[in-house]
Amino acid sequence: MKIMLHSILMMIVLAGLSGCASTSPLEDDLFQESQTTLPTAPMADSPDVDAETQHTLRLFPLYVGSTWIYDYLGYNQNTEVVWQIVEWVVDTRIINGYYVAVMDRHIKQIDGATPQNFLSAPKPGRFWYLVDGRDVYRFESLINTNLSGAWLDLVLPFPENGAAWYPNPDQRAHFQMSITGFRYASAPFQRVLPLGGTYTCYNVATRYQDGTAESTFCENVGFVYHEFNLFNRAYGYRSELRDFYFE
């Protein structure tokens, strides 16, 4: 039971927040609350980037210097630990015709003591987004442009009328039509964000056999909220956007 719990939780946490070791951590001052006014997103208007991909990047601004700061709470039945997480785009590239954003993540523990083998702790490191038109894939290890085996994190704009997709490549490959692993977005709604302004947002949910993963995604910003809980909230995490800005 413990082995199954560890495997399931780590798969979801890695899909949402983890990566391999980072080579360029941010300085502590990035954890100070930003007073920067959110500017207009730059255009990825290179001739190497097709129009559909450019539109996706307007919705999810994966440009060099884009930075997201989150307050993160990890918990189990006995412990709660608080971190701040900074994720930022350190580079963008065109690889085999695909737009790729190279991401780094830095974490800083704020409160609580982390017990041994704490499954809900965030992981610092590097990860990648690859944008193929509407499809946004996420890689936790070295990037591979064979997308049949890639995690499909987002489809932008979101499918309408209850349509959904399977992030897991095994489910896509074998057409496993089930509720488990099914990801879908709500109807759009307006939300005022802490960074200022009102944005068009969507609740994004993924159902698993013994847990749920829920997020809020806002156009022109990205993810502003993540929550995962497993086995009736025995383990899980919540993260909420504190600030977002361009360099």
pLDDT score recorded for residue 194: 86
Residue given tokens 């704020």 in the structure block: 110
Residue given tokens 């022109």 in the structure block: 220
Q: Which domain holds residue 63?
A: 2-178
Q: Is residue 214 part of a domain?
A: no
pLDDT score recorded for residue 205: 92
pLDDT score recorded for residue 47: 63
- 116, 70 Cβ separation under 8 angstroms: no
pLDDT score recorded for residue 8: 37
Reported in sequence order, the residue ranges of the chain that DSSP labels E, i.e. its strands, are 67-76, 80-95, 98-111, 125-132, 135-139, 151-155, 164-165, 183-185, 189-192, 198-208, 211-218, 222-230, 235-245
Q: Is residue 208 part of a domain?
A: no
DSSP state letter for 157:
S
Any long-range contacts for 1-4 (C-beta under 8 Å, 24+ apart)? none
Peptide bond into 122 cis (omega under 30): no
Q: What does the alpha-carbon distance between residue 89 and residue 129 come to, in Å, rounded to a whole number?
A: 10
Instruction: From residue 28, give the alpha-carbon distance in Å to each of 19, 105, 107.
Output: 20, 13, 10
pLDDT score recorded for residue 176: 58
pLDDT score recorded for residue 36: 32
Element (H, E) at 6: helix 2-16
pLDDT score recorded for residue 210: 76
Q: Is residue 95 part of a domain?
A: yes
Tokens of 115: 């017990």
Q: What does the alpha-carbon distance between residue 72 and residue 76 come to, in Å, rounded to a whole number?
A: 14
Query: Could you tell me which residues come within 8 angstroms of residue 120 by beta carbon, excluding any fewer than 6 positions away?
Result: 9, 13, 74, 75, 76, 81, 235, 236, 237
Tokens of 57: 């990047």
Q: Is residue 55 part of a domain?
A: yes
- 143, 130 Cβ separation under 8 angstroms: yes
pLDDT score recorded for residue 220: 96
Q: Is residue 216 part of a domain?
A: no
Q: What is the total count of domains within the chain?
A: 1
Q: Is residue 160 part of a domain?
A: yes
Q: What does the alpha-carbon distance between residue 85 and residue 224 come to, in Å, rounded to a whole number?
A: 12
pLDDT score recorded for residue 173: 75
Q: Is residue 171 part of a domain?
A: yes
pLDDT score recorded for residue 231: 65
Q: What does the alpha-carbon distance between residue 191 and residue 218 come to, in Å, rounded to a whole number?
A: 8
Which residue numbers in the chain have pLDDT < 70? Answer: 1-47, 175-179, 231-233, 247
DSSP state letter for 53:
H
pLDDT score recorded for residue 246: 78
pLDDT score recorded for residue 124: 94
Q: Is residue 48 part of a domain?
A: yes
